[in-house]
Every structure is written in C-alpha cells, then in structure tokens.
Amino acid sequence: MPMNSSQLAILKTNLAANTATIGGVQIKDLEHTDDNAQAIVDWYNVVANPDYWVWRTSVSELEFTRGVSVDGTVWSWTTYIGRSQGERDAWARLFMGGGSGSNPSLSNVRQGVADIFSGAGGATQRTHLLTVARRKVTRGEKLFVAVATGPGNDDVANNRGNTTNPDLLGFEGLVSRNDVNGAWALP
C-alpha cells in the first residue's frame, strides 16, 4: 500500500537528514534519479540493525500451532487440551474475524492470549504465542513505529522494540520507488 501524505512527509524529512551512504554518497546528498530512488528503496527495505521488534498484524492459527518459533519455542497440544472448554472456545474466536488470522498488535488480542493460557500451566504456551506474534522491522518501517513519536521515547531507555516489548507499526510493508519519488516531490 502506498504511503499517505503524513508518512511521505516523515520519509522526506528522513531522506533529507539521512547520512547513511550508498555508493559512497550520503542518502541526503543523492541526486533525485530513478537509479538513486531504487538504491534508496533497497536500503530502506532491509531489516533494521540493531534488531527492532514489532507486533505482527496478522498471524494464522497454523503459524501458531505448527513449527518452531525464532526462539525455539513450540506449541503444546497437551497444554491446549488441558484448558477449559471456555478457554478453547475463546482461542477459536481469536481467528473468526473474517481475516486471514488474528491481529496480535491489538492489546485485547494479547490480553486474550494471556487470559486463555493463564496461570503457571500456560506460561510456556504464552511465551510461544507471543514469540510467534512478533517480527523484526525494516529500516523503512522503523521510521513509522507507532509509539516512537515525541520527546523522551528513547528506544534503549524505555526498553522499546526488543523481544519482550515489541512496538506497534505505523506503516507496514516495503518502501517503494513511488514513495521515495513522492517524498522528494513534496515542497
């Protein structure tokens, strides 16, 4: 999805101040050409370093229940089966919104996971689910993390964007050449 006007303005500001280099030239000093726009797109669309974690906006039930997470956690059918019928019903409801999955970026969904797999018996399951529910952002997405606005929001000091405190996305997806050209075109 293309960036909206507010996002383009943020990108323009970042482009004008970005001192990272592409081909030995700082991004802020690159000529506004199609080749440079593509090089900028390529730069923004790599995973941010250091790692910065956000809540995913869609996770299918199969992603939760199959495979191993990036931290080596796994779904436990035994734990799931041991939950009450109401808790198992609530789990099913998390995936009935008509979309392709549940949206763990919503605090009520994360609270639902905590409620369904409450207590000591659900701790490992909660850890697995919350691990699957997060991902690393790209450099471009990191410009728009939802709570990264305002003074005093230092990532390290506030423990934001790490594996135990993922942030919220303000823009999701890849920066495009149209986005870069649109930002350059702003007055």
Residues of the chain with pLDDT under 70: 98-99, 147-158
pLDDT of 50: 94
Which distant-in-sequence residues (6+ apart) come within 8 Å of 108 by Cβ? none
By C-alpha distance, which of 136, 138, 135 is closest to 43?
138
DSSP 8-state class, residue 48: P
